């Protein structure tokens, strides 16, 4: 493969992308969990909203896995791999109030945004991959929008 990146740079980029993919899967499953087990006053609104968000994450997951393949890697494909790669923590299924789920998801999105900012610097400066940096920038924008929408459900504290 000759795409203007050394094998070692491509391998570094692949490892960064695998971490991103791990977090995407944990967040996707967490949103599905909350979608299924939500209780409280805003059940219907949040139930529909979480479905929209996890569907958007499913598209991002596919794009990330394909990006790994584009730079010459093999995408992880098991939950065990995703959990090992992720910095986000999963949660077991249980009934949860809307406010609790919103706060947990905002926290996760904000963590992902911070980690993506670091990843962009790494892939661009350390590995010279502006294409992946651009891809990750798009992911940040999507997570910023999701976090903003989630925060809009919270009362001012």
Residue 157 has pLDDT above 70, yes or no: no
* 142 — pLDDT class (breaks 50, 70, 90): very high
pLDDT digits (tens, 9 = 90+) for 68-124: 999 999 999 999 999 999 999 999 999 999 999 999 999 999 999 999 999 999 999
Per-residue pLDDT, 147: 97
**Over residues 30-39, mean pLDDT:** 97
Task: Tell me the C-alpha to C-alpha distance, in Å, between residue 19 and each of 65, 68, 93, 107.
Answer: 11, 11, 23, 18
Residue 156 has pLDDT above 90, yes or no: no
Per-residue pLDDT, 152: 94
What pTM does this model have?
Answer: 0.95
What does the block give as tokens for 1?
A: 């493969």
98, 153 contact by CB (below 8 A)? yes
Q: Which residues contact 153 (CB under 8 A, 6 or more apart)?
A: 42, 46, 98, 102
Residue 97 backbone dihedrals phi, psi, to 5 degrees:
-70, 150
- Choices 1.20.1260.10, 1.10.3720.10, 1.20.120.420, 3.40.30.10: CATH for 7-151: 1.20.1260.10
Per-residue pLDDT, 41: 87
Averaged confidence pLDDT in the chain: 96
Strand extents, DSSP E, 29-139? 38-39, 96-97
Task: Tell me the C-alpha to C-alpha distance, in Å, between residue 20 and each of 35, 52, 71, 113.
Answer: 22, 20, 15, 10
Question: What residue spans define the domains of the chain?
Answer: 7-151
């Amino acid at each position: 493969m000759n795409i203007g990146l050394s094998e070692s740079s491509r391998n570094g980029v692949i490892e960064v992308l695998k971490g991103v993919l791990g977090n995407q899967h944990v967040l996707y499953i967490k949103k599905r969990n909350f979608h299924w087990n939500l209780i409280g006053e805003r059940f219907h609104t949040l139930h529909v909203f979480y479905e929209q968000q996890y569907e958007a994450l499913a598209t991002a997951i596919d794009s990330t896995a394909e990006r790994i393949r584009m730079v010459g890697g093999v995408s992880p494909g098991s939950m065990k791999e995703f959990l090992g790669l992720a910095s986000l923590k999963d949660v077991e299924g249980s009934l949860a109030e809307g406010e609790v789920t919103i706060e947990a998801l905002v926290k996760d999105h904000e963590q992902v945004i911070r980690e993506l900012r670091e990843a962009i610097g790494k892939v661009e400066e350390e590995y010279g991959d502006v294409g992946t940096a651009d891809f990750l920038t798009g992911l940040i924008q999507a997570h910023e929008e999701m976090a903003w929408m989630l925060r809009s459900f919270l009362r001012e504290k």
